[in-house]
């Protein structure tokens, strides 16, 4: 997430009421999660296990809960609770905007697009040309939709990321300030849920088709011309490359990559990254031929035990 204008390190530290290390005029351009940070971004880290990863990332400002040596060319914001302060920044730069009409005045809707009754289109949404939005679709603020997109009834674009920190009093949510981006010629079935990024974009590539009741987690990027069947659940920060097929009730863990033109058979648990151009099945996931051989061998166990007796 980029800020509307550049800010100084001193300005951000004053906003958070925290100490900083670095030039007070050090340029701050935005904030992002570690997997999408760029120079000028703030990244937060609150566990020693991840200090080095954050300090050596592309981010040039690190919001951290311990005073450590600052890498050359970077700056630190020293906070007693970086998770809390990251939320403060999100609320400051991307505050919730109340809407009291079905289609926000700031929404941009392209020529030939049809929006059926009882749908909601939020603030600063952009919808391209010749789209069809069926009834009871909710399109949250800042969502971007390309041309020739069809979205069926009951689908929700832009709900918050499922991202929490456990506290003694319960779970503290990491506030989502990202977007959903739907490219041209995408088809989305009924009752799908696509969560927005925490600070970046959740993206559905051009020509991809989603069946009914598909869930896509925050910051996931789905490539072009993919097919995703009903009741599939895709976790956050997943990369699905072009022309992948996911059959019904596939589930994935977070932070993995599914290679281009892979086919994942129904009810598979994608527990790790897999190469493209192959077919997969089972939990834990394996190439389908190997998994089916294993299942065939399991069926032979009673016969083998009988012979041993």
d(CA 233, CA 255): 14
What's the pLDDT at 306? 85
User: How much is the pTM?
Assistant: 0.93
Q: What is the pLDDT of residues 209-263, one digit of tens each?
A: 999 999 999 999 999 999 999 999 999 999 999 999 999 999 999 999 999 999 9
Whose tokens are 């895709």? That residue is 234
Nearest-5° Cα angle at 141, 81 to 117: 145
Cβ–Cβ < 8 Å for 133, 155: no
**Mean pLDDT, all residues of the chain:** 96
Cβ–Cβ < 8 Å for 196, 217: no
Nearest-5° Cα angle at 181, 260 to 125: 170
Phi/psi for 136 (5° steps) reads 65, 25
Q: What is the pLDDT of residues 264-292, one digit of tens each?
A: 999 999 999 999 999 999 999 999 988 88
Rg (CA), the chain: 23
Mean pLDDT, range 108-135, rounded to an integer: 98
Q: What are the C-alpha distances in Å from 191 to residues 117, 155, 158, 167, 227?
A: 16, 4, 13, 32, 16
Q: What percent of the chain has pLDDT over 90?
A: 93
Instruction: Report, as residue numbers or ranges, the catalytic residues.
Output: 218
What's the pLDDT at 309? 78
**Is the pLDDT reported for residue 293 higher than 90?**
no
């Amino acid at each position: 997430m980029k800020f509307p204008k550049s800010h100084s390190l001193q300005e951000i530290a004053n906003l958070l009421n925290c100490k900083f290390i670095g030039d007070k005029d050090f340029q701050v351009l935005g904030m992002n999660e570690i997997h999408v940070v760029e120079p000028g971004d703030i990244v937060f880290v609150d566990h020693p296990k991840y200090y080095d990863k954050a300090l050596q990332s592309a981010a040039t400002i690190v919001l951290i809960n311990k005073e450590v040596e600052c890498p050359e060319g970077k700056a630190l914001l020293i906070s007693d609770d970086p998770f809390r302060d990251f939320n403060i920044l999100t609320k400051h730069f991307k505050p919730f905007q109340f809407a009291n009409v079905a289609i926000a005045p700031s929404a941009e809707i392209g020529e030939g697009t049809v929006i059926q009754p009882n749908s909601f289109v939020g603030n600063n949404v952009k919808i391209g040309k010749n789209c069809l939005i069926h009834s009871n679709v909710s399109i949250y603020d800042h969502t971007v939709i390309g041309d020739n997109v069809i979205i069926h009834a009951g689908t929700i674009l832009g709900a918050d990321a499922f991202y929490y920190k456990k506290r003694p009093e319960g779970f503290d949510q990491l506030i989502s300030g990202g977007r959903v981006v739907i490219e041209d010629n995408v088809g989305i079935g009924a009752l799908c849920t696509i969560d927005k990024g925490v600070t970046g974009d959740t993206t559905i590539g051009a020509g991809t088709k989603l069946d009914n009741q598909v869930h896509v987690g925050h910051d996931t990027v789905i490539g072009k011309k993919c097919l995703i069947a009903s009741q599939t659940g895709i976790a956050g920060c997943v990369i699905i490359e072009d022309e992948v097929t996911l059959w019904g009730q596939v589930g994935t863990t977070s932070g993995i990559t599914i290679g281009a033109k892979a086919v994942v058979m129904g009810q598979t648990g994608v527990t790790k990254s897999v190469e493209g151009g192959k077919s997969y099945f089972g939990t834990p996931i394996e190439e389908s031929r190997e998994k089916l051989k294993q299942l065939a061998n399991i069926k032979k166990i009673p016969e083998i035990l009988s012979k041993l007796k």
